[in-house]
A and B are shown apart, each in its own frame.
Chain A
Amino acid sequence: MATYAEMQQIFDDIRGDFRYDHELNGCLNCGICTATCPSAQFYDYSPREIVQLLWTENVEQIYDAMQEKIWACAQCMTCAARCPFKNSPGGLVAIMREVAIKHEMQSAKDVLRPFGRVMLKLITTGNQLSPDMIQPDHFPDWGPNIQKVEGDLRVLRKAIPVKTLQTVETAWEVSLKTSVEMYTIWEMTGVLKSLELMDENLFDVIEDFIDEKREDYEDWLEEQEEEDDD
């Protein structure tokens, strides 16, 4: 459990975000956000509650909501499209999630852990998801139908009646240049910094891989120049 000063600091970081005043104008407590929220139908999550906690600066309950509730939001932003005050509860949740990562909260680590596999795939192939990742124990939330893809993935993939790469490790090809650009974007937008805070081991693996790919790209560029000189 955090001290009050720590919880205050977490709230100050949320409130200090440059988007905060844009996403929160006040609240009429009308509940249209929660009424329209798909997650509120299934989870103990209410966008109106999040807005109220922030607007009334309830630092203890804000901290409490960051343990589980904010991770139930699907970021569909229907709340923002409905709010008569033009608040964006979903936008506020996005800020809270980033602050949860910055503060290395356990809830963020727990929620993001399954995405480590996606991250690694993206770094190594440029694809978020490939057929070989679809396994029953990887996606328990996909339900019993996941059993249908158990078996020989190569055969199953060949049965798809549109053109595929006929591989199971990638979905499509991504050029080296595109991959290197993506690394730069991740660096500049703080994605890699967030990853370091959430999972240091994965960060080290990915950093090594990025360095390797960048060297490959440099080599490729040099080769091109040499060819041009000829």
Chain B
Amino acid sequence: MTQDTVLVVGAGPSGLTAAANVTAAGYKAVMVEKEDTLGGAPILSGYAKLVPSGEWAKDAIGRMVKRVEDDASVTIHKGAKVTKLDGDAGNFTATLSNGESVAAGAVVLATGFTHFDSINKPEWGFGTFEDVLTTTQMEQMVAAGKIACPSDGRVPERVCILLCVGSRDRQIGREWCSKICCTVSANLAMEIKELSPETDVFIYYMDIRTYGLYEDKFYWKSQEEFKTKFVKARIAEVTASGDGRLLVKGEDTLVKRPIVIPFDIVVHAIGMDPNADNPEISQVFGVGLEKHGFIERAEHYTNTCGTTRRGIYSCGAAYGPETIDDSIAQGAAAAGRAVGDLHALVQKAS
């Protein structure tokens, strides 16, 4: 039967939550994940410890994956995409790239985001210098348990993290704040110092947005307990010095003079782009995208989980840069709204 099934597209934190909440309400869920592994960005990109719990991503998200895998009411299609969607709210038929078709009354798009590709900011040296990394690469290094320069394996004396790489930058058409990078970077600075006490970490910022309860647990703690130095400066260029170190050129805006500082590792705090597949998703599902390219919300206050098409819902980073915690909350909300609307349809028909 179609009206007892919700199709969930994407198996990251928000999608895994949506599926679990759909079945908790007595409905069936069908999950479609384009990758061969469930868990979304935290698993696929090998995140280290999560904000704000401090729990390892593989454990925390692993639990969410297991909950869905163990759920008899969830059918999972891995390595598959939805290529076609027919029908209307209450009666959709999805065609999958693996040849199967799914009948569902509602669809939840938990399609997430794509990490910003630092190649698009060549002046910051990613792709040119081996010791310029992204936050996801640095998280992988932390998860592997050893802080070392990729170029020659030496322990770095000084590491800097550049904030707003691929965020808040009109030059490359990304005018949004990616919301999570300030806190993630403060967290990463502490993880680096913990693993490598002789390494000093500097963070270059335009503004610090460790909002809500993140202020003291991350921004303050990283300074008070881990001696992270915050410098208000946007870096102009990363170049190499003769001795194999990296030179970072900025203005110390509080001292008001240009500065050139040597570092051993430069980390780009990469932002969250709209999912690179969003143009395709928009076409296949017939949903609109907002001006930055994320999924457009139906209505902010009374249909928060809706899209521009009835019967299709969304949640998490598909709507815009989002934290894991809020993605989980939105996944639950979208599931609630989807089964609620299906319930109303059935009531109306009987």
**What is the CA–CA distance of A183 and B268 in the complex, to the nearest angstrom?**
52
Report whether B171 and A82 are in contact in the complex, using a CB–CB cutoff of 8 Å.
yes
Chain A 73-90: CB-based contact to B (< 8 A → 1; otherwise 0) = 000000001111110000
Which of A28, A34, A85, A86 counts the most B-chain CB atoms under 10 A from its CB? A34
- B157 beta carbon closer than 8 Å to chain A: no
List chain B residues, Cβ under 8 A from A86: 170-171
Report whether B206 and A28 are in contact in the complex, using a CB–CB cutoff of 8 Å.
yes
List chain A residues, Cβ under 8 A from B256: 34, 46, 49
Report whether A30 and B234 are in contact in the complex, using a CB–CB cutoff of 8 Å.
yes
**What is the CA–CA distance of A48 and B258 in the complex, to the nearest angstrom?**
11
- B residues bordering A, Cβ < 8 Å? 123, 164, 168-171, 206-207, 232-237, 249-253, 256, 258-259
Contact of B250 among A25, A35, A41, A49 (CB under 8 A): A35
Report whether B236 and A81 are in contact in the complex, using a CB–CB cutoff of 8 Å.
no
21 of the cross-chain contacts (CB-CB < 8 Å) are A25-B170, A28-B168, A28-B234, A29-B253, A30-B206, A32-B235, A32-B251, A33-B251, A34-B251, A34-B258, A35-B249, A35-B251, A35-B258, A37-B258, A41-B258, A48-B251, A84-B168, A84-B169, A84-B170, A84-B206, A86-B170
Query: In whole Å, how far is B269's beta carbon from the nearest beta carbon of chain A?
Result: 14
**What is the CA–CA distance of A141 and B153 in the complex, to the nearest angstrom?**
47
- A residues bordering B, Cβ < 8 Å? 25, 28-37, 40-41, 46, 48-49, 81-86
Contact of A84 among B234, B251, B259 (CB under 8 A): B234
Contact of B234 among A35, A37, A41, A46 (CB under 8 A): A35
Report whether A46 and B251 are in contact in the complex, using a CB–CB cutoff of 8 Å.
yes
List chain B residues, Cβ under 8 A from A28: 168, 206-207, 234
Report whether B258 and A30 are in contact in the complex, using a CB–CB cutoff of 8 Å.
no
- From A31, which residue of chain B is reached at the shortest CB distance? B251
List chain A residues, Cβ under 8 A from B164: 84
The 3 closest A-B pairs by CB, nearest first: A31-B251, A30-B234, A36-B236
Report whether B236 and A32 are in contact in the complex, using a CB–CB cutoff of 8 Å.
yes
**What is the CA–CA distance of A85 and B171 in the complex, to the nearest angstrom?**
7
Q: A28-B168, A31-B250 are in contact. List 9 more A-B contacts (CB 8 A).
A: A29-B232, A30-B232, A34-B251, A34-B253, A34-B256, A35-B258, A36-B236, A83-B171, A85-B170
